[in-house]
Structure 1
């Protein structure tokens, strides 16, 4: 019985590691688009739910965004960490050209239309990877 349990644990561990590695491999370093949102009323749970729903819909329907990550700031424990934002969005694209197409795609424009009244500030950082695919 101990052998079966041990074997099962090892298989589950390997499957979990493989899945985690696959998710890491989906990160495309060609073009990274990082967006920070500051909400007008960050304590308003209805506003937060509305933004989250709009973000989820956008990510499901975007034709160009590859890696898709939405986060909230952890409590900062060091002075260099800025935890003043409400949400963070990280998207990757195969190229700068695809990122430009994303800017004009219906899913992105609809997200802006649905959510722009919720935020007071948005900051975007774009970057090309040093070893981006050529």
Structure 2
């Protein structure tokens, strides 16, 4: 019985160390400036279009000189009236300043993403915000 308890404790400690290491490797969300983008596709069920969008978006975010952290999502289907689940993709990108976000708008990686994917969407809505201090 003692051996079993010791083994469980060791597994728990090792697991928590692995979790802590993984969290330490993650980028920290930068609350200075958030750029939130919603995309509505012309044909949201087009698998090839979605693959092209995701591939181009990942390349763009990897190559951006200005974006600090990012989140790409798809809408969950909701039964709550206050939840808008009509979009195809959402993107949240953080920057250390509004000036960095302006640089991102004109950088080659961003412009290439737009060129590669603009035919896929029928509507794009952007919300920019500063973090509270």
Length-normalised TM-score, structure 2: 0.90
Q: Shift of residue 33 of structure 1? A: 0.2
Q: 1:11 aligns with which of 9, 14, 31?
A: 14
The correspondence of residues 1-134 of structure 1 with structure 2, limited to 5 A, is 1-2=3-4, 3-17=6-20, 19-20=22-23, 23=26, 26-131=28-133
- CA distance in structure 1 between the aligned counterparts of 2:77 and 2:9, rounded to whole angstroms: 38
Aligned residues: 130
Which has more radius of gyration? 2
Distance 1:15 1:88 in 2: 30
* Secondary structure, aligned partner of 2:35: strand
Q: C-alpha deviations, 1:39-81, integer Å up to 9, x for none?
A: 0100110111010001111011001101111000011121000
Gaps of 5+ in 2: none
Q: What is the CA deviation profile of residues 105-125 of structure 1, one whole-angstrom value per residue up to 9, with x for unaligned ones?
A: 000000000000000000000
TM-score in terms of structure 1 length = 0.90
Compute the displacement of 1:11 (Å). Answer: 2.3
Gaps of 5+ in 1: none
RMSD in angstroms over aligned alpha carbons?
Answer: 1.6
How far the C-alpha of 1:8 sits from its partner, in A, is 2.3
Q: Report the CA distance shift for 1:76/1:21 in structure 2 as closer, same or farther (over 3 A).
A: farther
Per the TM alignment, residue 21 of structure 1 is displaced from its structure 2 partner at its CA by 6.2
